[in-house]
Amino acid sequence: MLKIGITGQAGFVGTHLYNTIGLFPKEFERIDFKKEYFEDDAKLNDFVVQCDVIVHLAAMNRHNDPQVIYDTNLSLVLKLVQSLKVTNSKAHLLFSSSTQEDRDNLYGKSKKEGRELMINWADNSDGEFTGMIIPNVFGPFGHPNYNSVVATFCHKLVYNEIPTIDVDGGLKLIYVGELVEIIISEIRSKKGKSEVIVEHTSEAKVSELLSLLESYKTQYQNNGIIPNLANTFELNLFNTFRCYMDIKNHFPVKFVEHTDSRGSFVEIVRLGVGGQVSFSTTVPAITRGNHYHTRKIERFAVIKGKALIQLRRIGTDEVLDFYLDGNQPAYVDMPIWYTHNIKNIGEEVLYTNFWINEFYDPNDPDTYFENV
């Protein structure tokens, strides 16, 4: 079993890598890292000596003073390399560099020089080094005005602010989940490569990104419509947008109920995509679910009975409770990386409709069990 530590574990890419590695408990063991270790040689050394693999993601991306970015990033690399030397580590060290390496800015310079320092360590030790040149990364849980323009646009749109475009340039992009798959593949290879060019998986102008995200706000956030998603990039972008919404206050969303002498009619979901619709009954006091998805879009619609739907983002402690009653039919959508369940809290049988955007595939279920 490989013991893996991630500097920058709590950051954007670090969080996704840490959580994904946790899906393989028979293959990997996670060695926890805290940013304070960089200020304590003993703790940093103790961390390094435990690791078979170290993924160095800790870095500063933005600051008003570019010199601070350069100094901070080089300092982190120097401290880590010194610890590797002191502990005589034989770890496989992986480093996230940037396509800005060859640009005339101090951020790119810090990445390039940091990679060179790590190559030098590997050349003079029994360790391995892999330097990854990474394009623009987007995905859920990135920090607005810091990690990516996608994060900034999503945040502004969901809170009814007006995004602005400074330069409508073309961006070469990779989804954070795709990047994590590449990092894990490099870990599994157990072979160092001084330079790995991580290819982008999509391209878009800034204005095109904003247009898509604006359409998701109009269709999904404002009207509950699952939009047409033409490809994997649009699915990833839509799932990213959903995770920036104020989930706690957005759900449950009440349906429009049409009633006449015959009874009532409720429209469950309007779709621009296909998928699978299911129906279930649940006896009192029974709980279903306690699992999460990393790519699927899912809707729970309570049409009869009383239910408690709970959500918790993986890696956090806050549990969101949503109470639904079939007398006022409503739905809750499940964001990716949120474990969720539904419990019958009433005295009668609970009737629930489920919709998910893809057919169930037992060979690729994208369903991971964890109690809320």
What six digits make up the tokens of 226? 């699952």
Give CA–CA dist 183/156, Å, rounded.
30
Give CA–CA dist 292/87, Å, rounded.
39
Closest CA to 271 of 226, 232, 332: 226
Identify the pLDDT of residue 102: 84
Number of neighbouring beta carbons within 10 Å of residue 309: 24
Least confident of 89-93, 101-105, 330-334, 338-342: 101-105
Angle, helix 149-158 to helix 206-216, in steps of 10 degrees: 30
Answer for the pair 147, 139: CB distance below 8 angstroms, yes or no. no
3-state secondary structure of 54: strand
Answer for the pair 129, 93: CB distance below 8 angstroms, yes or no. yes
Identify the pLDDT of residue 263: 79
Confidence of residue 347 (pLDDT cuts 50, 70, 90): very high
Sketch out the chain's domains with CATH numbers.
Answer: 2-140+173-202 (3.40.50.720), 247-369 (2.60.120.10)
pLDDT above 70 covers what percent of the chain?
100
Strand 330-334 and strand 276-282: the pairing is unpaired
Which DSSP letter does residue 350 get? E
Residue 264, pLDDT > 80, answer: no
Mean pLDDT of the 152-164 span: 97
What six digits make up the tokens of 109? 């310079």
Identify the pLDDT of residue 120: 97
Identify the pLDDT of residue 38: 97
Number of neighbouring beta carbons within 10 Å of residue 144: 17
Least confident of 11-25, 253-267, 284-298: 253-267
The length of the chain is 372
Residue 281, pLDDT > 80, answer: yes
Identify the pLDDT of residue 186: 98
Mean pLDDT of the 233-246 span: 98
Residue 198, pLDDT > 80, answer: yes
Phi and psi dihedrals of 354, rounded to 5? -120, 135
Confidence of residue 104 (pLDDT cuts 50, 70, 90): confident
Identify the pLDDT of residue 260: 81
